[in-house]
């Protein structure tokens, strides 16, 4: 089997590929971002590339199913179904290469600045015959601390040289009361940390000044694991089916974080070696992948993670290029499906400190829910699926330029796109807006089915509804030239129904356990990018939250990242996070009495929607 050169555009990256290999795998190995919501199974039709130069085999049946004859004639193909046959150039189509909109802002409650990492500048008296105390004891005396022999060997080896080269003037780096590093001279003003939010879809890194508490930069990236599945179960399955899969996914997310740390340092003009601690918040599966721990127990009953406690790890063991004695602290989780990201969110919303009956919802690929009442916190996780993030939708895409994010149906249909660009697809907020407007306009019935049009229907949107012999759909936009029309299909509405039913049933199950009704909720906290960009009126039209609760909603943004920052800047908040993780009760919905019936009941849209 020989090798040939494949060029990917617009990246203009040339890679050597084995003849007969899958083009999608070639792209993945070369870190070329090609959209694939089905993880290369050929069912989503989104991994589009266009042959610019070279030859290919005849189209695969799944390519014929997803690509029009005109586009096939122009060389448009599915990367997951293309075999390398010779030297070729391919243009990556779809949303690849576009700038994605990723939320990095979040609620930050008041706290006292008291980071775990601190620096102390010392000027020691030089040893002499009448005071020949050893170097470590001399440092202990200056600090008023005792290290009790807990010094790492690598640090012990550095102490003599650093002290003598600097005339016994040095800066000590302490983690709590433990000495972890020593630097010549006074470097107390150069003390930084990084806070990381690892989401299933996105990764966010913030660079923070540990002296002032100021956030200096925030950098974001799509989680590179996405090509191995849009949800955690798909990625766990990848690990089971592919030898080396765990190492591969672990390496991907670590390299992503290390790259983002580098970008943040460049933006803030900070040297990487002056970052001494990184705190990480993530769902349980992502945390396992980050640490290289097999998450297989999370993917099957009885859904047991390998660990849930907070974890401290030397940064060098994870390949993060920060200070040589830098550490990584992973926040604690509650269970397999209530991870450290939710603990971080509850910490930011201060649910444990409030007397109000408060509902916390983090809506993403999974929908995590917590309810606080008189100090008691209950939680559950629902399989909302990736539909609310633009995936598993026929014209779905992530939030990037050209994605429809708002829809209005009055006399006709009006769409607004990110960046005011020509429409190329629907992101999560656009999907919710579209379905909400379709319900309001009477296009979609409570059952979720499109209405049946009668001959001569004069409603202004009637010409957009296709409900003949083929699959029913409603056209929102003619779309950008070359991309085709943007439409909502019956299958898309079903995906939204399933997500809505999962979230609402989770909420009602928790309230039932506490003997509380929806009308008794004092405050609703919605975390994540979803809440920041979707119109809550549209969300309510789906029936997830009653209209009367709209004025009680607080959008708290990326609370996972905010919680990671809190644990970076406050030892007290870090200790509180550990207490919270032990305090939060978890309800496994599959064990909730008659949950299947509750879920089925929650699928229906409201019969009467307020104007």
Q: Are residues 54 and 131 in the same domain?
A: no
Q: Are residues 309 and 225 in the same domain?
A: yes
Long-range Cβ contacts of 133-142 (<8 Å, 24+ apart): 135/159, 135/160, 135/163, 139/172, 139/179
pLDDT at 313 over 60: yes
Give the per-residue pLDDT at 536.
86
Q: Are residues 21 and 143 in the same domain?
A: no
Length of the chain in residues, anyone?
611
Domain range for 39 is: 3-92
CB contact at 8 A, 407 and 537: no
Give the per-residue pLDDT at 11.
75
Q: Are residues 431 and 554 in the same domain?
A: no
What would the mean pLDDT of 590-607 be, rounded to a whole number?
91
Let me know if residue 33 belongs to a domain.
Answer: yes
Lowest mean pLDDT among 21-25, 41-45, 499-503, 528-532: 528-532
CB contact at 8 A, 526 and 315: no
Q: Are residues 473 and 537 in the same domain?
A: no
Residues 6+ apart with CB under 8 A from 439: 541, 542, 605, 606, 609
Task: Give dist(CA 554, CA 380) in Å, integer.
Answer: 20
Output the pTM of the full model: 0.82
What's the CATH code of the domain at 46?
Answer: 3.10.20.30
Give the per-residue pLDDT at 103.
47
Q: Burial letters for 554-577: b for 16+ Cβ neighbours within 10 Å, e otherwise?
A: ebbbbbbbbbbbbbbbbeebbebb
Let me know if residue 151 belongs to a domain.
Answer: yes
Q: Are residues 125 and 260 in the same domain?
A: no
Q: Are residues 81 and 130 in the same domain?
A: no
Let me know if residue 43 belongs to a domain.
Answer: yes
Q: Are residues 368 and 502 in the same domain?
A: yes
Q: Are residues 180 and 261 in the same domain?
A: no
Query: Total structural domains in the chain?
Result: 5
Q: What is the CA radius of gyration of the chain?
A: 27
pLDDT at 359 over 80: yes
Q: Are residues 392 and 427 in the same domain?
A: yes
Select from 73, 92, 111 the last residue of a domain.
Answer: 92
Q: Between the CA of residue 154 and those of 136, 273, 324, 489, what are the distances in Å?
A: 14, 16, 10, 62
Q: Are residues 7 and 138 in the same domain?
A: no
Virtual CA dihedral for 439, 380, 194, 311, nearest 10 degrees? -160
Q: Are residues 321 and 207 in the same domain?
A: yes
Give the per-residue pLDDT at 100.
47
pLDDT at 610 over 70: no
What's the CATH code of the domain at 543?
Answer: 3.30.420.40
Let me know if residue 124 belongs to a domain.
Answer: yes
Give the per-residue pLDDT at 336.
95
Let me know if residue 15 belongs to a domain.
Answer: yes
Closest alpha carbon to 510 in 583, 587, 582: 587
Alpha helices in 1-152 (DSSP H): 23-29, 61-66, 69-73, 135-143
What's the CATH code of the domain at 142?
Answer: 3.10.20.880
CB contact at 8 A, 432 and 387: no
Give the per-residue pLDDT at 215.
94
The pLDDT tens digits for 97-129 are: 444 444 456 678 889 999 999 999 999 999 999
Select from 77, 92, 107 the last residue of a domain.
Answer: 92
What's the CATH code of the domain at 271?
Answer: 3.30.420.480
Let me know if residue 99 belongs to a domain.
Answer: no
The tokens describing 72, both together, are 């096939």
Select from 457, 491, 525 the last residue of a domain.
Answer: 491
Residues 6+ apart with CB under 8 A from 404: 415, 416, 417, 423, 425, 426, 427, 430, 434, 476, 477, 486
The pLDDT tens digits for 509-550 are: 999 988 888 888 999 999 976 666 678 888 888 988 878 888
pLDDT mean across residues, the chain: 88
């Amino acid at each position: 089997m020989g090798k040939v050169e494949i060029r990917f555009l617009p990246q203009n990256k040339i890679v050597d590929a084995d003849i007969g290999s899958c083009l999608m795998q070639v792209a993945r190995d070369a870190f070329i971002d090609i959209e694939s919501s089905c993880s290369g199974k050929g069912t989503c039709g989104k991994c589009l590339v266009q042959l610019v130069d070279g030859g290919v085999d005849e189209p695969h049946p799944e390519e014929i199913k997803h690509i029009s004859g005109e586009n096939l004639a122009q060389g448009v193909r599915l990367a997951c179904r293309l075999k390398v046959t010779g030297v070729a150039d391919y243009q990556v189509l779809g949303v690849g290469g576009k700038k994605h909109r990723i939320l990095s802002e979040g609620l930050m409650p008041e706290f006292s600045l008291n980071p775990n990492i601190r620096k102390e500048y010392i000027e020691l008296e030089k040893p002499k015959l009448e005071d020949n105390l050893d170097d470590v004891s001399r440092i202990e005396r200056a600090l008023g601390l005792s290290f009790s022999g807990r010094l790492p060997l690598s640090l012990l080896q550095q102490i003599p040289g650093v002290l003598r080269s600097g005339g016994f003037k040095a800066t000590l780096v302490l983690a709590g009361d433990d000495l972890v590093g020593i630097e010549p001279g006074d470097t107390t003003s150069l003390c930084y940390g990084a806070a990381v939010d690892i989401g299933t879809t996105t990764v966010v890194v913030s660079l923070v000044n540990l002296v002032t508490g100021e956030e200096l930069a925030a950098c974001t990236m799509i989680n590179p694991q996405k090509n191995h599945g849009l949800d955690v179960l798909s990625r766990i399955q990848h690990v089971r089916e592919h030898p080396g899969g765990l190492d591969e996914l672990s390496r991907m997310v670590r390299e992503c974080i290390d790259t983002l740390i580098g970008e943040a340092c460049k933006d803030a003009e900070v040297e990487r070696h002056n970052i001494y601690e990184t705190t990480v918040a993530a769902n349980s599966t992502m945390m396992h992948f980050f640490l290289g721990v097999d998450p297989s127990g999370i993917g099957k009953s009885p859904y047991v993670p390998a660990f849930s406690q907070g974890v401290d790890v030397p940064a060098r063991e994870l390949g993060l290029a920060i200070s040589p004695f830098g550490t990584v602290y992973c926040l604690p989780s509650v269970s397999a499906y209530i991870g450290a990201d939710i603990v971080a969110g509850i910490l930011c919303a201060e649910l444990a400190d409030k007397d109000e009956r408060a509902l916390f919802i983090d809506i993403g690929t999974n929908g995590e829910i917590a309810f606080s009442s008189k100090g008691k916190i209950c939680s559950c996780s629902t399989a909302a699926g990736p539909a609310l993030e633009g995936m598993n939708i026929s014209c779905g895409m992530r939030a990037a330029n050209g994605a429809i994010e708002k829809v209005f149906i009055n006399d006709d249909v009006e769409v607004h796109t990110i960046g005011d660009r020509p429409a190329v697809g629907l992101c999560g907020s656009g999907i919710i807006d579209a379905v909400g407007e379709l319900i309001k306009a009477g296009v979609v019935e409570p059952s979720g089915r499109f209405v049946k049009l009668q001959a001569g229907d004069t409603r202004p949107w009637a010409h957009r509804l296709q409900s003949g012999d083929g699959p029913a759909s409603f056209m929102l936009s003619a779309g950008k030239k070359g991309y085709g029309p943007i439409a909502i299909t019956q299958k898309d509405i079903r995906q939204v129904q399933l997500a809505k039913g999962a979230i609402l049933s989770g909420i009602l199950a928790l309230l039932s356990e506490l003997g509380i009704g929806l009308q008794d909720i004092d405050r609703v906290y919605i975390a994540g990018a979803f809440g920041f960009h979707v119109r809550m009126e549209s969300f309510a039209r789906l029936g997830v939250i009653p209209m009367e609760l709209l004025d009680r909603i607080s959008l708290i943004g990326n609370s996972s990242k905010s919680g990671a920052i809190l644990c970076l800047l406050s030892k007290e908040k870090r200790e509180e996070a550990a207490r919270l993780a032990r305090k939060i009760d978890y309800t496994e919905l599959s064990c909730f009495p008659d949950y299947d019936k509750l879920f089925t009941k929650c699928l229906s849209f409201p019969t009467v929607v307020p104007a």
